[in-house]
Amino acid sequence: MVQPTDGRAPAHIDTTKASIARVYDYALGGKDNYEVDRAVIERIRAVAPEVNQFALDNRAFLVRAARFVATRTAITQFLDCGSGLPTAENTHQVVQRLRPDARVVYVDNDPTVVAHGRALLEDNELTRFLAADLRDPGGVLDDPTVQQFLDLDRPVALFQVGTLHHVADEDGPARIMAGYLDRLPAGSVVVVSHFFDPENDDSELARRVEDLLVHSPMGSGYFRTMARIRELFGGLDLVEPGIVACHRWWPEGPQLTPENAVQRCVVGGVGIKHPPQ
């Protein structure tokens, strides 16, 4: 992150309010965060010592899903909503390694991401960054950046990874997703991950972490049930193994440590929009 040399935050960054992107960056082990962001994670660590696993499993899922789309489908257009701050393996790096012609548009509305991410994420002619609110599918899809850079008559991979659990019920996350899915042509895929309330013994952890997140200076982080998360995919068919704990979605190999409750409370899946019968 570009910072004044005396260690203070840049003037346009409000360091009294935690940022989703910077809290996530801290959980991933990044350096682009402030005390207010780190405090959110440290408060959760008291009830969930494995708190970083939410971010680590979520990000590893994004990378595997991106590789899946790039290798197992013919899709070369990616709309990555909620890019987050640049990290080790950004979507364009993962997919362009496999499909050098792949185009990626990132969308985010976090001031830190907009200020510093744009320069780092838009690092070649096949990658663009759009500062926009992902809760407005029409605004995103009709923005000139998307219209000029992606061909919405051809299949697109829509990523909503770690984003929709920051969208409040009153904003209608399923309705927002329908706004995207209705516009995407057959053959498109959608990749979603989300905080999960398993409606079993792990629900207590989900509720406690949700309470800490929603009442933190970050202000969001909703754990939803499987039925609510399935709604986000609309009527799309799910690729095997369906919506599962992120670390169980086509893992690289067996996990050598026991699964913990945090890992059971973040799920992901990939849906495919087939042509109408």
Dist CA 68 CA 63 (whole Å): 9
Stretch that binds ligand SAM, among 19-27, 66-74, 223-231, 250-258 (CB under 6 A): 19-27
Stretch that binds ligand SAM, among 5-13, 162-170, 233-241, 251-259 (CB under 6 A): 162-170
Say whether residue 20 binds ligand SAM (CB under 6 A): yes
Whichever of 70 and 134 has its CB closer to ligand SAM, that residue is: 134
Say whether residue 110 binds ligand SAM (CB under 6 A): yes
Using an 8 Å Cβ cutoff, are 176 and 138 in contact? no
Say whether residue 180 binds ligand SAM (CB under 6 A): no
Report the nearest approach of ligand SAM to the CB of residue 275 (Å).
28
How many residues interact with ligand SAM (rule CB under 6 A)? 20
Say whether residue 106 binds ligand SAM (CB under 6 A): no
Say whether residue 126 binds ligand SAM (CB under 6 A): no
Say whether residue 231 binds ligand SAM (CB under 6 A): no
Say whether residue 109 binds ligand SAM (CB under 6 A): yes
Say whether residue 166 binds ligand SAM (CB under 6 A): yes
Binding to ligand SAM (CB under 6 A) within 38-97 occurs at: 58-59, 62, 82, 84
Stretch that binds ligand SAM, among 3-11, 103-111, 122-130, 269-277 (CB under 6 A): 103-111
Say whether residue 162 binds ligand SAM (CB under 6 A): yes
Per-position DSSP letters for the chain, written without gaps between them:
----TTSPPPTT--TTS--HHHHHHHHTT-S---HHHHHHHHHHHTT-TTTHHHHHHHHHHHHHHHHHHHHHS---EEEEES--S--SS-HHHHHHHH-TT-EEEEEE--HHIIIIIHHHH--STTEEEEE--TT-HHHHHHSHHHHHHS-TTS--EEEEES-GGGS-GGG-HHHHHHHHHTTSPTT-EEEEEEEB--SSTTHHHHHHHHHHHHTSTT-----B-HHHHHHTTTTPEEPTT-SEEGGGSS-SS--SS---HHHHTEEEEEEE-PPP-
Q: How many CB atoms lie within 10 A of CB 91?
A: 28
Residue nearest to ligand SAM (CB): 82
Among residues 87, 227, 218, 243, the alpha carbon closest in space to that of 160 is found at: 243
Whichever of 108 and 210 has its CB closer to ligand SAM, that residue is: 108
Whichever of 66 and 181 has its CB closer to ligand SAM, that residue is: 66
Report the nearest approach of ligand SAM to the CB of residue 276 (Å).
30
Dist CA 132 CA 176 (whole Å): 14
Say whether residue 196 binds ligand SAM (CB under 6 A): no
Say whether residue 177 binds ligand SAM (CB under 6 A): no
Binding site for ligand SAM (CB under 6 A): 20-21, 24, 58-59, 62, 82, 84, 107-110, 113, 133-135, 161-163, 166
